[in-house]
Amino acid sequence: MKYYSLNKKSPVINFKEATINAQAPDMGLYFPEKLPEVSNALIKNMENLPDAEIAFRVIAPYVGDCIPNLDLFDIVKETVNFPIPLKKVGNIISSLELFHGPTLAFKDVGARFMSRCLGYFLKNEERKVTVLVATSGDTGGAVANGFYDVKGVNVIILYPKGRVSPVQEKQLTTLGKNIIALEVDGTFDDCQQMVKQAFIDKEINEKRFLTSANSINVARWLPQQFYYFFAYKQWKEKDKQPVVCVPSGNFGNICAGLLAKVTGLPLGHFIAACNANDIVSDYLKTETLVPKTAVATLSNAMDVGNPSNFVRIIELFQKQFPALKSNLSSYSISDTETIETIKRIYTQHYYTLDPHGAVAWLALERYLGQFPDEQGFILETAHPVKFPDAVIEATGKGVEIPLSISSIMHREKETIEIMPDFENLKDYLLA
């Protein structure tokens, strides 16, 4: 498998080079040169196959000969060694729980896969690698966990000050060792833009061997397809293709799901559930993608005003707006509606949604209200314990803290505060 830059001004490269380089020299995102087809045999036999086998068959064509099959299978097996259950909550809505991994968020799958691929590719590398990543919430913790204490790798995480939840902040600021947190007095978009600039800065790249662990990296983006295959494996109504609703911020997760659908997984319509950061909702009405300044919401991982991965979705549908729109809808949900939804679903079904899951639930309800014969599932992307204030406000009750979280909550955070200016980041990286 080869990958090309969406800006079309960089050489075509393989999976290994795309993983290490993260972003093309022309600032474009890498995209597969030819999309593989999901085999009918895999779809028909999915219920009889272990998750690791399904994931291996899905990802192998994208990796090509860059990793031998036995090593790739081991990587995949370690990546998905926790449950990803699809739970029926309402009569027509199920919840795909992606929070059973080590950092209680969907980012665990992509971060674990990428860290292991990068470790394989760099095992004979003498230079020290710097993984540079921006986070709006869960990416930071997942990447920190995936690369913690890995020899020869330093991780530098940029996150927006005051815009991640207390649990998320503890997960990315308390590990120490090779994990460094930069607390940026700005938005996630500021963090993301600074990271992008670092990758094309000649002076920085002469001094540091940089790679990214954001969803712009193909090794973070592509394994997110696994969720959708595991969901379909558990979907009982095989005669009905499920509507899929994804809480969407940087649009890497939903892009992976649409990729799975386009290549042959029998999924129905997709819904991008957005909060007040509604750039894609507007795009689907106007066919014009206009970046906005991100605003802070309860569903903080979705607080993105310029989603990087949406260009991949446009490419996936060959820049044909009618084809894209026939496969994707979008709804924007307010914070007030988010709290009301958490409260209502807890009261009706004794099921606790996190704010991101609540945004997805209400968006899916709105779509199904127009198409009452359909059924679907949401992606519940984070454990509600990460958002205690919203959950307590909505339900009047707290969430039991898992042991993996309680052990870090008493630790002091260790951060370096910087302003949202690229020169501040550059000075730090060159120091």
**CATH number, domain containing residue 285:** 3.40.50.1100
pLDDT at residue 32, rounded to an integer? 98
DSSP 34-67: SPPPPPHHHHHHGGGS-HHHHHHHHHHHHHGGGS
Quick one: tokens of 60?
């192998």
pLDDT digits (tens, 9 = 90+) for 361-388: 999 999 999 999 999 999 999 999 888 8
Residues 302 and 106: their CA atoms lie apart, in Å, by 13
pLDDT at residue 327, rounded to an integer? 98
Assigned domain for 98 exists: yes
pLDDT at residue 39, rounded to an integer? 95
Query: Sheet containing 270-274: which strands, arranged edge to edge?
Result: 86-88, 93-97, 376-380, 243-247, 270-274, 328-332
pLDDT at position 427 over 90:
yes
pTM: 0.90
In the chain, DSSP finds a helix count (H) and a strand count (E) of: 20, 14
Residues 61 and 431: their CA atoms lie apart, in Å, by 41
User: What's the whole-number mean pLDDT along residues 62-76?
Assistant: 98
Q: How many domains does the chain have?
A: 1
Whether 107 is catalytic = yes
pLDDT at position 119 over 90:
no
pLDDT at residue 215, rounded to an integer? 82
CB 238 within 8 A of CB 214: no
pLDDT at residue 30, rounded to an integer? 97
pLDDT at residue 146, rounded to an integer? 85
**160 has which bridge partners?**
184
Calculate the alpha carbon distances from 430 to 181, 188, 206, 207 in Å.
Answer: 16, 22, 10, 7
DSSP state of 29: P
pLDDT at residue 406, rounded to an integer? 80
Q: Which residue has the higher pLDDT, 140 or 390?
A: 390
Assigned domain for 24 exists: no
User: What's the whole-number mean pLDDT along residues 206-216?
Assistant: 86
Assigned domain for 319 exists: yes
pLDDT at residue 123, rounded to an integer? 84
For residue 328, what pLDDT band results from cuts at 50, 70 and 90?
A: very high
pLDDT at residue 143, rounded to an integer? 86
pLDDT at position 46 over 80:
yes
For residue 139, what pLDDT band results from cuts at 50, 70 and 90?
A: confident
Q: Which residue has the higher pLDDT, 278 or 409?
A: 278
Q: Which residue has the higher pLDDT, 165 or 2?
A: 2
pLDDT at position 188 over 90:
no
Q: Which of 96, 54, 402, 420 is nearest to 229 (CA)?
A: 54
pLDDT digits (tens, 9 = 90+) for 212-223: 887 889 999 999
Residues 84 and 64: their CA atoms lie apart, in Å, by 26
User: What's the whole-number mean pLDDT along residues 282-287?
Assistant: 94
Residues 161 and 227: their CA atoms lie apart, in Å, by 30
Q: Which residue has the higher pLDDT, 401 or 328?
A: 328
pLDDT digits (tens, 9 = 90+) for 89-103: 989 999 999 999 988
Domain assignment of residue 292, given as a range? 83-105+221-402
Calculate the alpha carbon distances from 181 to 30, 173, 267, 403, 430 in Å.
Answer: 27, 6, 38, 23, 16
Residues 332 and 314: their CA atoms lie apart, in Å, by 20
Proportion of the chain above pLDDT 90, given as a percent:
76
Alpha helices in 201-334 (DSSP H): 202-207, 218-221, 225-234, 252-262, 279-286, 310-316, 321-327
pLDDT at residue 124, rounded to an integer? 82
Quick one: tokens of 225?
């397809």
Q: Which of 357, 316, 312, 317 is nearest to 220 (CA)?
A: 312
User: What's the whole-number mean pLDDT along residues 412-422?
Assistant: 95
Assigned domain for 391 exists: yes
Q: What angle do CA 425, 131, 119 make, to 5 degrees?
A: 170
The residue from 9, 34, 88, 107 that is catalytic is: 107
Quick one: tokens of 406?
């309680």
Q: Which of 379, 41, 117 is nearest to 242 (CA)?
A: 379
Assigned domain for 298 exists: yes
Quick one: tokens of 208?
């540091």
Alpha helices in 201-235 (DSSP H): 202-207, 218-221, 225-234
Assigned domain for 378 exists: yes
Assigned domain for 45 exists: no
Assigned domain for 276 exists: yes
Alpha-carbon Rg for the chain in angstroms: 20
pLDDT at residue 381, rounded to an integer? 95
